[in-house]
Amino acid sequence: MTTLFKSDSRVAALSLAALIVAAPCAYAQDTDKEKKPRKRVSAEIDRRAKHLYDKAIELMEYKQYERGLAMLNTVVRDNQGTLLAHMAHMAMGKHYLAQRKTKEALNHFMLLTRLLTPEPGEKQSEEVVALYQEALYQAGYSQYQAGQYSAGFPLFRRLTEVAARTKWANMAYFYIGMSHYQLKNWNKAIDSLSLVGTEVEEAGEGTDDLGRIEIGQRFYSKIVDADVPVMRKLKVPVQAIVKVSSGDIETLTGVPVPGKKHEMLTSAPTALGNAKPGDGVLQMVGGDTLEVIYMDESTLDGKKGVPRTGKVRAVSTGTVGFFLGDNSTPAYIAYPGEPQVMILRDADLDTSPDAETLTLTVKSFYKVEAAAAAEDEEKGMLDIFSLEAEDEEVWKERDSITVTLTETGEGAVIRSGIFGGKVTLAPIEEGVTPNPGDAILHCDELDELSVVYTDKVHLYGDEERTSESRIKVSGSVNSGVSADQFVVFEELLKARKGSVEAEALAGLGEIYKDMGLDQRASQRATEALGKVNPIIMNRKKLPGDIVENAFRLKWECELLKDDFDAATSTCLAFNRLYPESVLADKALMTLGRSLTDKGEFDKAVDVYARVLELENPISAAEAQFRIGETLQQRAVDSIEKADAHNSKWGKAGLSKATALQNAMGPAVAAYRKTYERYPESSFAADALGRVVRHYVDTDAFAQAAVLLESVFEDYPDAAFLDEMLLLWANVGYRMGDNETAKTKLRKLIFDYPTSKHVAEARKKLAGIEAEGDKE
């Protein structure tokens, strides 16, 4: 019996805490190697971009997904090739995965696996290595969630290679096993699940390798036990005990996981506060650890009452912001002369039953022209770098004050983890210099207020996390009647208007296209192109999201006009501008499939080849495979047409099947490139299998035997291994090696008892054994 607590590591997106209880580790930690301190990511990236990223993550936590995703996309567009852009891709992928949008999630995860794959001999930073390993796991897990188990195998296998003796390898083996279980490959499922726990290093003393849960979010733990079906039938509750280091203890009863008969899920709400054992709520304070204990009453070696345990650490991710007077609604505008409420949430700071206090610095900033900012007032020098960035905003500090925040709450015991305070604002007066030592923050209209909080203990790792909040300052409150005029940036307004109109025209064109009115569809597409082309020409002055949408509309309109060459060129141009976007990749793959369906095989092959020319194509392996598939379809189509006209096969003395195999040369070459260039892709095994079938069909048994060895060595999880065993037996028999034939047939019968090829294997095995008896 196997008992596991499974960790999903999706805490950022789901606030889901889970545990892995591993078997005794096979390896001890190498104490001779001293770990180098990790670099701070923020030290290598633009401060404003990091602020935008942190703000986006904060919005996602508050479930303001649309705004958060827009900010993350901006981070990617404006910081391509940086670690921060990769982190943004990871955050978006996790969000989509949490929303069960696996296709969208895979776009981001697969792009990361391609961008972060190390070159031979390359020394990557710890941050990049960690992100690459997580990207492999998340991509494989997305495939698992989508039910694409075979597609997840190469990703999980790669993870066991690059992240050996880590939690990632442990989780990879778990999902390899569970995937085989879903595919009813029982023996392979057992083999993989038996490796769970053998790939986790023991943490040395003083290290913090515990998982983390967010205080206030629901706590989950998953129990995987082969005895669960029996326990449920006997109505024996599956329970786990959760102990909190500050004193709370709760007994949680598991509930069934739909479609997973060996799994039970236990959960309980968490709250900041003093322990109240037995009330069904896990009370905890910052720094607590939670230990989950499950008693395994029947192990594989016959033992009873074996405790299976796992631990996580309770943390709180701090956020700071400006709020209205109700202390709950975020404020977006501050008014001089009116007090401004500021609230910090961080349960880690609640260290006693009394109300805690802390201080934060609040600053006011005013914007200046880049040329003015370049001049150093103290040294009279000119900063040429500031002059180069004329379009960038430059902010200078006007005033700053220190504000004391006090933990809020009522009663003798205060355990809220929420700290509040007020900032006294005053308008700047002409000729008066603000005094940094007073308790008044001076500001002027169009200034910005900023407060920064550095969180040392949080959900996202060991590095300090900075949370910053900024709001605009308005003019003083005026109750009288006034008339204001707002100037709108004309180019931006025109671009937004043109984009909306082009979207409508393209949609109308698609309707005409579906109705078979190609000429009208082309007219609408031409009109739409007239709207989006100026946007693309003026792209340097416009936001990235508008430009990206303009490119999308452009190639869609060109497709409406059946101008495939123009659409392809547009995709390539877009990819050069935005190499980390997956839009061009997806558009070309869709175009290739459309051309194949229309029977335009040569054009389809050309489009798929264009995908291979893209920077960072996430569909490169599929494109190469589709080239082979399209060439195979072309060969079949040409042979069918020739046979229908009763042409050369009879005269040349060739059968239709032989002619087809002769025409398969280009397709086989393309398939061979697939598994040679992209051996870790989900298409490699299928491509290799098709080449094997070709060699068997053309009686090239020696070559087939060599490739069959590679199939089982390099792709142990492929979905067609039962068929390959049958082919291998056939190859062995045709080569006069009856022992190999019998061995492969027996393996097929034993390893794949539910295979559709078992009956044929039994029949052939009986026949070969009968031949041996006669001899």
Residue 678 is encoded by which pair of tokens? 């992209």
Domain boundary among 315, 342, 359: 315
Question: Which has the minimum average pLDDT: 37-46, 141-150, 204-213, 691-700?
Answer: 37-46
Q: What is the extent of the structural domain holding 337?
A: 319-473
What pLDDT does 773 receive?
58
Higher per-residue pLDDT: 484 or 578 = 578
What pLDDT does 386 receive?
43
**Segment of 30-44, 186-200, 728-742 carrying the highest mean pLDDT:** 728-742
- pLDDT tens digits for 348-404? 888 888 899 999 999 999 988 655 555 554 444 444 444 444 445 678 899 999 999
Q: Is residue 501 part of a domain?
A: no
| Vertex 464: Cα angle to 459 and 465 (nearest 5) | 65
What pLDDT does 646 receive?
54
DSSP letter string, 180-242: HHHTT-HHHHHHHHTTTTTT-PPPPTT----EEEETTSPEEEEEEETTHHHHHHTT---EEEE
Please provide the distance, in angstroms rounded to a whole number, between the alpha carbons at the two ends of the chain: 47
Do 334 and 401 belong together in one domain? yes
Residue 428 is encoded by which pair of tokens? 């700047």
C-alpha distances in angstroms, 244 versus 86, 311, 417, 738?
Answer: 36, 10, 18, 63
Cβ neighbours around 409 below 10 Å, total: 15
- CA–CA gap between residue 567 and residue 610 (Å, rounded): 11
Residues 6+ apart with CB under 8 A from 304: 297, 298
Q: Where are the beta strands (DSSP E) in 602-690?
A: none
Residue 299 three-state SS: coil
| Vertex 308: Cα angle to 302 and 310 (nearest 5) | 165
For 699, list phi and psi in degrees, rounded to 5.
Answer: 60, 25
- pLDDT tens digits for 544-603? 778 888 888 988 898 888 888 888 888 878 877 777 677 777 788 888 888 888 888 888
**Segment of 37-41, 198-202, 360-364 carrying the highest mean pLDDT:** 360-364
Pairing, β 306-315 against β 211-214: parallel
Do 206 and 240 belong together in one domain? yes
- CA–CA gap between residue 426 and residue 448 (Å, rounded): 13
- CA–CA gap between residue 687 and residue 81 (Å, rounded): 32
CATH label of the domain that carries residue 310 = 2.60.40
Question: Which has the minimum average pLDDT: 212-226, 477-491, 602-616, 756-770?
Answer: 477-491
Residue 210 is encoded by which pair of tokens? 């515990």
What pLDDT does 279 receive?
93
Domains identified in the chain, total number: 2
C-alpha distances in angstroms, 741 versus 714, 715, 717?
Answer: 21, 21, 21
Domain boundary among 273, 299, 315: 315
Q: Which helix (H) or strand (E) holds 663?
A: helix 656-663
- CA–CA gap between residue 325 and residue 343 (Å, rounded): 11
Residue 454 three-state SS: strand
Q: Is the confidence at residue 65, as pLDDT, over 80?
A: yes
For 406, list phi and psi in degrees, rounded to 5.
Answer: -120, 140
DSSP letter string, 415-433: ---EEEEEEEEEE--TT--
What pLDDT does 655 receive?
61
Q: Is residue 310 part of a domain?
A: yes
Do 298 and 405 belong together in one domain? no
pTM of the model: 0.51
Residues 6+ apart with CB under 8 A from 487: none
- pLDDT tens digits for 505-531? 989 988 988 888 889 989 999 999 998
Give the whole-number percent of the chain exceeding pLDDT 70. Answer: 83
Do 467 and 327 belong together in one domain? yes
730 pLDDT tier (thresholds 50, 70, 90) = confident
Higher per-residue pLDDT: 462 or 162 = 162
Q: Give 678-697 as a 3 state SS string.
A: CCCCCCHHHHHHHHHHHHHH
Report whether 106 contacts 142 (CB < 8 A): yes
| Vertex 456: Cα angle to 454 and 459 (nearest 5) | 110
What pLDDT does 209 receive?
55
What number of residues does the chain have? Answer: 775
Do 301 and 212 belong together in one domain? yes
Count Cβ neighbours within 10 Å for each residue of 432-445 and write b for 16 or more, e otherwise: eebeeeeeebbbee
Report whether 385 contacts 375 (CB < 8 A): no
Q: Is the confidence at residue 714, as pLDDT, over 90?
A: no
Q: What is the dihedral of CA 696, 698, 702, 704, to 10 degrees?
A: -40
What pLDDT does 14 receive?
29
Do 376 and 388 belong together in one domain? yes
Residue 346 is encoded by which pair of tokens? 């961080």
Do 269 and 324 belong together in one domain? no
Do 214 and 311 belong together in one domain? yes
Region for 740 from its dihedrals, namely left if φ exceeds 0, alpha if ψ lies in -120 to 50, beta otherwise: alpha
What pLDDT does 656 receive?
61
Do 257 and 335 belong together in one domain? no
Q: Is residue 306 part of a domain?
A: yes
Cβ neighbours around 519 below 10 Å, total: 7
Average pLDDT of the residues of the chain: 79
Domain boundary among 294, 315, 336: 315
- pLDDT tens digits for 140-150? 999 898 888 88
Q: Is the confidence at residue 201, as pLDDT, over 60?
A: no
Using alpha carbons only, how large is the chain's radius of gyration in Å?
A: 32
Distance of CA 767 to the CA centre of its chain: 52
- pLDDT tens digits for 9-29? 332 332 323 333 332 233 233
Q: Is the confidence at residue 104, as pLDDT, over 70?
A: yes
Least Cα distance to 114 among 687, 547, 587, 611 occurs for 611
- CA–CA gap between residue 234 and residue 219 (Å, rounded): 27
Q: Which residue has the tokens 């206090």?
A: 357
Q: Is the confidence at residue 98, as pLDDT, over 50?
A: yes
What pLDDT does 494 receive?
83
Q: Is residue 77 part of a domain?
A: no
Q: Which residue has the tokens 């080849």?
A: 609
Q: Where are the beta strands (DSSP E) in 372-478?
A: 394-407, 418-427, 440-443, 448-455, 465-473
Report whether 177 contacts 196 (CB < 8 A): yes
Q: Is residue 147 part of a domain?
A: no
Q: Which helix (H) or strand (E) holds 306?
A: strand 306-315
Least Cα distance to 427 among 416, 440, 443 occurs for 443
Count Cβ neighbours within 10 Å for each residue of 584-618 and write b for 16 or more, e otherwise: bbbbbbebbeebbeeebbebbbbbbebbbebbbbb
- pLDDT tens digits for 69-83? 888 888 888 787 888
Q: Is residue 263 part of a domain?
A: yes
- CA–CA gap between residue 686 and residue 704 (Å, rounded): 15
Over range 483-497, report the average pLDDT.
Answer: 65
Region for 528 from its dihedrals, namely left if φ exceeds 0, alpha if ψ lies in -120 to 50, beta otherwise: alpha
252, amino acid identity: L
Do 308 and 419 belong together in one domain? no
Q: Is residue 376 part of a domain?
A: yes
Q: Is the confidence at residue 40, as pLDDT, over 50?
A: no
- CA–CA gap between residue 193 and residue 188 (Å, rounded): 8
What pLDDT does 407 receive?
92
617 pLDDT tier (thresholds 50, 70, 90) = confident
Do 459 and 363 belong together in one domain? yes
Which residues are bridge partners to 395 per DSSP?
A: 367
Mutual orientation of helices 47-61 and 83-98 as an angle, nearest 10°?
10
DSSP letter string, 337-377: TS-EEEEEE-GGG--SSSPPEEEEEEEEEEEE-HHHHHB-T
Which residues are bridge partners to 291 per DSSP?
A: 243, 311
Report whether 267 contacts 251 (CB < 8 A): no
Residue 151 is encoded by which pair of tokens? 């597609």
Q: Is the confidence at residue 715, as pLDDT, over 80?
A: no
Q: Is residue 216 part of a domain?
A: yes
Do 266 and 207 belong together in one domain? yes
Q: Which residue has the tokens 């040294």?
A: 379
What pLDDT does 90 receive?
92
